[in-house]
Structure 1
């Protein structure tokens, strides 16, 4: 997962799809860039999360976002990350953390922090879904 100091939350790696990429290629690139994941394979679709958010650019008040979620296998050892400038400034770093601990932390941040980001509700929902659907068996 990713821990972001600015928002004091745990999130799943992710981001936009570059021109010419399909979703799986975007997943592999983003996962490698943000976490240093190596040997990404056995990629399987898990689901899609749709949300509407306030938008900060002219001509639009809201934006529709679709987050496509996948499972995959990676090597246990992570390589070097290639974070974007804003990710570095936000204090983002890849971490291994138990999903139950990440959910508990995020719920505490939602309840008690005024610095939470806009993604924490989505991320906590997805982490709970992962816990319930992938880890319960």
Structure 2
């Protein structure tokens, strides 16, 4: 899968620390200029739906499960590889120094009607909700949040980069 970008948190001076690897699958679902995203009230941002891959789960199975849980998506189909975004972040738990995060992004189609979500407790607490959003408005919103919020981090930077790349490669 093509590498879209590698980012390293500025607090990491070298990648020699004790690290663990986390993989996630993220869905790109377009309807014209509208894209299915997750809005998170706590962070005031828009992100691609998706999340961590479970032990023994392949990427496409994880994508389908995450889309169903986070958006209520049904009949996920036409799954095609878009690319991989890699991050190195500080980690302060479980005797690790660094988290190596890989987000595997896929384009796909779903049925028009979304079903019930199955959010985890922290996702509910953070105020997550699936929304269809004009991709240009989502980019503008995330850029405004990055410029004006103290809650920003590597995730919103990743998501905004991906949204801009989606516009460049899939809408133009």
Q: What TM-score do you get using the length of structure 2 for normalisation?
A: 0.77
* TM-score normalised by L of structure 1: 0.96
Structure 1 residue aligned with 2:164: 128
Q: Is 1:111 equivalent to 2:147 in the alignment?
A: yes
Q: Greater strand share, 1 or 2?
A: 2
- Please list every run of at least 4 consecutive aligned residues from structure 1 whose deviation after the TM superposition is greater than 3 angstroms: none
CA contact (8 A) 1:37 1:74 kept: yes
d(CA) in 2 for partners of 1:84, 1:58: 21
- 1:43–1:71: 8 Å Cα contact kept in structure 2? yes
Quote the Cα distance in structure 1 between the aligned partners of 2:53 and 2:98.
20
Which position in structure 2 is the counterpart of 1:96?
Answer: 132
User: How far has the Cα of 1:118 moved from its partner?
Assistant: 3.7
DSSP-derived class of the 1:19 partner:
coil
1:110-129 deviation line (CA, Å, top 9, x unaligned)? 00111234410001001111
Q: Distance in 2 between matches of 1:110 and 1:27?
A: 27
Q: Matches of 2:170 and 2:130 in 1, distance apart? A: 21
1:19 aligned residue: 55
RMSD between aligned alpha carbons?
1.0
Partner of residue 81 from structure 1, selected from 110, 117, 132: 117
Structure 1 or 2: more helix by fraction: 1
